[in-house]
Chain A
Amino acid sequence: DGGITQSPKYLFRKEGQNVTLSCEQNLNHDAMYWYRQDPGQGLRLIYYSQIVNDFQKGDIAEGYSVSREKKESFPLTVTSAQKNPTAFYLCASSIFPGTANSNQPQHFGDGTRLSIL
């Protein structure tokens, strides 16, 4: 079955530590996204990538970094510069809008919950 896999499901970070959240998709989607969700809130965009080796900052990119070396993979690193990293992180993918210039439905993984020790 095609889908998006996020790992781990739960992650704990110590002070001053960088942690990396994994996101893999086998949907052959060009575009991938990382969101942060805080309790009772909507999703806020951290980074997105429309093609391999290219990515763009979202609304809250400070303290985060990403890479897109393969179409299937879009890992997110939460650096020590992110002072309030406790949140639920969601990865998504979609078909690239292309010439349609129209947003496509996004497919989501089941998230990684990050907490501070």
Chain B
Amino acid sequence: SQQGEEDPQALSIQEGENATMNCSYKTSINNLQWYRQNSGRGLVHLILIRSNEREKHSGRLRVTLDTSKKSSSLLITASRAADTASYFCATDERGYSTLTFGKGTMLLVSP
């Protein structure tokens, strides 16, 4: 199956810095979603951006979507140690019934 690909696979930063993660996908989509997963836990939905939107904000999160390049980015501003987690993008590349998840970016924020 086709999957979104996150980049980088791992990212290590200091508290207060910004973290940027990228996601690429292969076919047309209706929307793209970002999720967060703390170690050993389930995923938590962060934000959904529709194909006709270019940018969306939620608190310290900023998501962009470029459908011409089939890519999205997630920016976390002023990161905190509590932001340490894996972040996944998910698309509806295979239709609206299911989501296709990428392999994720592991973010480590050091105090």
Asked whether A42 lies within 8 Å of B33 as measured between CB atoms, the reply is: no
Interface flag for A106 (CB, 8 Å)? yes
Chain B CB count within 10 A is highest, among A35, A50, A108, for A108
B59 CB–A CB distance under 8 Å: no
Residues on B with beta carbons closer than 8 Å to the beta carbon of A56: 97
* A58 x B98 contact (CB < 8 A): yes
Contacts of B42-101 to chain A: CB distance below 8 A? 42-45, 48, 50, 88, 92, 96-99, 101
Given the known inter-chain contacts A40-B103, A111-B41, please indicate yes or no for A50 contacting B97, CB distance below 8 A. Answer: yes
The reply to whether the CB of A43 lies closer than 8 angstroms to some CB of chain B is yes
Cβ–Cβ contact B30 & A102, under 8 A: yes
Question: Is the pair A102, B42 in contact by a Cβ cutoff of 8 Å?
Answer: no
Contact B30 A106 (CB under 8 A): no
In chain B, what residue has the closest Cβ to A113? Answer: B40
Chain A CB within 10 Å, residue with most, of B44, B45, B98:
B98
Interface size on A, residues (CB 8 A): 31
Query: Which chain A residues in 82-108 approach chain B with CB under 8 Å?
Result: 88, 90, 92, 97, 100-103, 105-108
Q: Which residues of A contact B96 (CB under 8 A)?
A: 97, 100-103
Q: A48-B98, A97-B97, A102-B92 are in contact. Are A42 and B45 (CB under 8 A)?
A: no
Across the interface, do A105 and B48 meet the contact criterion of CB distance under 8 Å? yes
What residues on B are CB-neighbors of A92 within 8 Å?
42-43
- B33 (CB) vs chain A CBs: closest residue: A105
- Contact partner of A42 (CB less than 8 A), chosen from B31, B44, B48, B104, is B104
The 4 closest A-B pairs by CB, nearest first: A108-B42, A105-B45, A103-B92, A42-B103
Residues of A near any B CB (own CB < 8 A)? 4, 6, 33, 35, 40-45, 48, 50, 56, 58-59, 88, 90, 92, 97, 100-103, 105-111, 113
**Contacts A/B (CB < 8 Å), 10 sampled:** A42-B101, A43-B88, A45-B1, A48-B98, A97-B97, A100-B96, A102-B92, A103-B99, A108-B44, A111-B40
